[in-house]
Amino acid sequence: MYSRRGLLAAPALVSWTVSAAAQDAWPSRPVRIVIPFAAGGSSDLAARLLAPRVGAILGQQVVVENRGGGGGNIAAESVVRATDGHTLFQGNMGVMAVNPTLYRQLPFDPERDFQPVSHIMAVANILVTPAERPWRSVADLVAALRVAPETIRAGNSGPGSIGHLAVVLLDSLAGTRSVHVPYRGGGPMATDLIAGHLDFAFATTPTVLGAIQSGRLRALAVATGTRSALLPEVPTVAEAGVVGFDVNNWDSWLFPRGVPAAHVARMAEAIRQALSEPDLRAEFARRGLEPLATSPPELAAAIRAETARWAPIVRASGATPEG
């Protein structure tokens, strides 16, 4: 599912050695994970599956807090300002690598203000449309967008989200213009999509898989470079005729700058251990999530690489936080 494109050349689970210094009193209180999206989306699902396993390894409760809005920037800024040493940010590819280009001014700098810990998962986005819409393929949708530009509504989980940028890339490569409708998370967006209030979206597998299987949504294509194991009959967008289309999506955990390196290493090791557990890996896979644990340097390199990749695409498209 996860097309690394040289971004993460190392295996999905990379050992991160914890020094003896890490075996101190940290964490001495519950650990808080701040998610920049509403409950119900893939980010929320991954965090809530992983948090209790990491908490058991650390010997402290890991609490998940949803704080949507502002394209993820509100939550990110709140974590940057945290000084308790027990607060982390769950940043996805959009917030960490796209927002620096999409927004003229950010209240934080992803590289300066955060200490990368580890990826936690990768997930495919599926191009879906309500079942009552007439489009049966990517070609059908593209044709409709060309006939009636700026009338077909595309939902996304927030400005700068992967769903937003996937539509931007589709419009750029196919020569179309969509109406962007942002939400505070993938869950609320999927609810409106299923209800027919939107025309299409690139939604994460966990948020729409059930609706696809029940026939309420129609899957037209997969955004990544390879097909999804859960939907093997659904082509990729590139296979469906939009050459060059390949959009990855991942989530990661990061501390604000200033947390001791030993604590960063201990958290990275706890994530690695938790994501090595066969039953948790199976649960991730069943939900359409790919467990992905990496070292702090690998996450830092991934953020730099994705930022460099998306910056020219965002600039050339003229995309804004409003669409």
> Whole-number mean pLDDT of the chain?
91
Binning pLDDT at 50, 70 and 90, where does residue 24 land? low
Residue with tokens 């910056």: 311
Look up tokens 């869950």; give the residue. Answer: 187
**Taking the CB of residue 87, how many other CB atoms lie within 10 A of it?**
20
Query: What single-letter DSSP state applies at residue 135?
Result: -
Sheet holding 125-130, edge to edge: 179-182, 153-156, 200-204, 125-130, 217-222
281-294 mean pLDDT: 95
Higher pLDDT, 253 or 320: 253
- Tokens 């690695």 found at: 272
CATH number at 20-122+249-317: 3.40.190.150
Q: Regarding predicted confidence, which is higher, 147 or 165?
A: 147
For 238-294, the three-class secondary structure string (H helix, E strand, C coil) is CCCCCCCCCCCCEEEEEEECCCCHHHHHHHHHHHHHHHHCHHHHHHHHHCCEEECEC
User: pLDDT at position 323, please?
Assistant: 62
d(CA 74, CA 103): 13
**Residues 36-63: what's their mean pLDDT?**
95
Query: Which has more pLDDT, 160 or 281?
Result: 281
Q: What is the mean pLDDT of residues 111-127?
A: 97
What pLDDT is attached to residue 217?
A: 98
90-124 CB burial, b ≥16 within 10 A, e <16: bbbbbbbbbbbbbbeebebebeebbbbbbbbbbbb
**Cα 176 to Cα 168: distance, rounded to the nearest angstrom:** 9
Q: Is the fold of 20-122+249-317 the same as that of 125-222?
A: yes
CATH topology of domain 125-222: D-Maltodextrin-Binding Protein; domain 2 (3.40.190)
pTM, whole model, 2 decimals? 0.83
All structural domains of the chain with their residue ranges: 20-122+249-317, 125-222
Mean pLDDT over 55-67 rounds to: 98
